[in-house]
Amino acid sequence: MAGEESVRNKQVVLKNYVNAGLPKESDMEIKESSVLLKVPEGTKDAILVKNLYLSCDPYMRNRLKEIEGSYVASFQIGSPINGYGVAKVVDSTHSGYKKGDLIWGITGWEEYTLVTAPDTVFKIQHTDVPLTYYSGLLGMAGMTAYVGFYEICSPKKGEYVYVSAASGAVGQLVGQFAKLLGCYVVGSAGSKEKIDLLKNKFGFDAAFNYKEEPDLDAALKRHFPEGIDIYFENVGGKMLDAVLGNMRVHGRIAACGMISQYSKEQLDAVHNLIYIIPKRIRMQGFIVTDFYHLYPKYLEMIIPQIKEGKITYVEDKAEGLESAPAALIGLFTGRNVGKQLVVVSHD
């Protein structure tokens, strides 16, 4: 159509499913197509967005598998993968959005995406904080930390809190929330750099490198001689087993993720489940999308904390869409330090 501009649209496309083992960069490819900078004629309630930042998240590992019946669908081979991101509206046929609006939510791993289900995105109201925060701290990861800690664990001042994968997008926040509430907080991570961050930047009371602990049970007893009230579970496997034996009576476990299990063909067995009976432990799995109605309440709490410098957030930025496959895969070997995101455009 005359006057309508067609532009290049670089995309990250899935080449093959990876049901077991670690995904590789070669399981994805960069393709180029083109896109008209306009919502197609006759498409109602849609927005065309230019993607600025893409979020790399552990839950995406299961979307790289060919599985049915998961809470989130597998990616389609030959199609761009998608996930959380931050974008700018280029064109809209939706009454709630206009050109220039900023949004966060589900978008494609590409330069431009047509969003036909705008109920999966949120309009960004606060632009006086770094925009990248909406890929983590003010987006899905922040909500996950908030819901898992406050809603699932019902924390109280003075309780003993343990966070695994503590320097990641979610863990770093859980630890800071717990400290602001007056809890004793210990985190674990997989490198010296991450342990230093936990203690010196995020204010954890203590932290340990799980890779240097031959006996996880002994490590937990060293850090929690009185036991653990709250465990924020991001890892699963042997770590969960060790924690179960170290929980206190009426302890709570928020099962957020189990990244140690995502690429295994044979899942690790958990042997210490019997402890949940005498210790009256409550362990609950949760999916953050069930709680998005609480997002305004979360913003009310977190925006002032950011502005007052009470919350800090560490991001690991990969530059350019070409770097996206490596950035995503890096999550599963712990290569990232903090929240992993991809910068698609600075515009």
Helices 237-244, 216-223: axis angle to 10 degrees equals 50
Q: Are 183 and 176 in contact (CB under 8 A)?
A: no
Measured CA to CA in angstroms, residue 254 lies from 180, 288, 331 at distances of: 19, 12, 21
pLDDT score at 120: 85
pLDDT string in tens for the chain (347-residue length)? 445 788 999 999 999 999 888 999 999 999 999 999 999 999 999 999 999 999 999 899 889 998 888 888 899 999 999 999 999 999 999 999 999 999 999 999 999 999 998 788 999 999 899 999 999 999 999 999 999 999 999 999 999 999 999 999 999 999 999 999 999 999 999 999 999 999 999 999 999 999 999 999 999 999 999 999 999 999 999 999 999 999 999 999 999 999 888 778 888 899 999 999 999 999 999 999 999 999 999 999 999 999 999 999 999 999 999 999 999 999 888 888 889 999 999 87
Structure tokens at 285: 């799995």
Give me the pLDDT at residue 277, please.
97
- pLDDT, position 265: 81
The alpha carbon torsion through 204, 154, 290, 281 (nearest 10 deg) reads 90
Give the long-range contacts of residues 263-267, CB within 8 A, separation 24 or more: 263/18, 263/20, 263/21, 263/22, 263/23, 263/61, 263/332, 264/20, 265/19, 265/20, 265/21
pLDDT given at position 69: 80
Helical residues (DSSP H) of 19-151, grouped into ranges:
60-63, 140-146
Strands 339-343 and 160-163 turn out to be: unpaired
**Angle, helices 171-181/192-200, rounded to nearest 10 degrees:** 30
Quote the pLDDT of residue 304: 96
Kindly provide the b/e burial profile for residues 334-347, where b requires at least 16 CB atoms within 10 angstroms of the residue's own CB.
Answer: bebbbbbbbbbeee
What DSSP designation does 337 have?
S
pLDDT at 89: 97
DSSP-derived secondary structure for 206-244: EEEEGGG-S-HHHHHHHH-TT-EEEEEESS-HHHHHHHH
Encode burial over 275-291: b for 16+ CB neighbours within 10 A, e otherwise. Answer: beeebebebeeeebeeb
Q: What is the DSSP string of 126-178?
A: --SS-GGGGGTTTSHHHHHHHIIIIIIH---TT-EEEESSTTSTTHHHHHHHH
Q: What is the pLDDT of residue 3?
A: 52
pLDDT of residue 177: 98
Task: Supply the pLDDT for residue 263.
Answer: 79
- Vertex 42: Cα angle to 36 and 45 (nearest 5): 90
Distance between CA atoms of 224 and 221, rounded to whole angstroms? 5
pLDDT given at position 267: 87
Rounded Cα gap, residues 4 and 85, in angstroms: 26
pLDDT in tens, 313-330: 999 999 999 999 999 999
Phi, psi angles (nearest 5°) of residue 298: -65, -45
Helix (H, G, I), strand (E, B) or coil at 289: helix
H/E stretch holding 316: strand 315-319
**pLDDT value of position 2:** 45
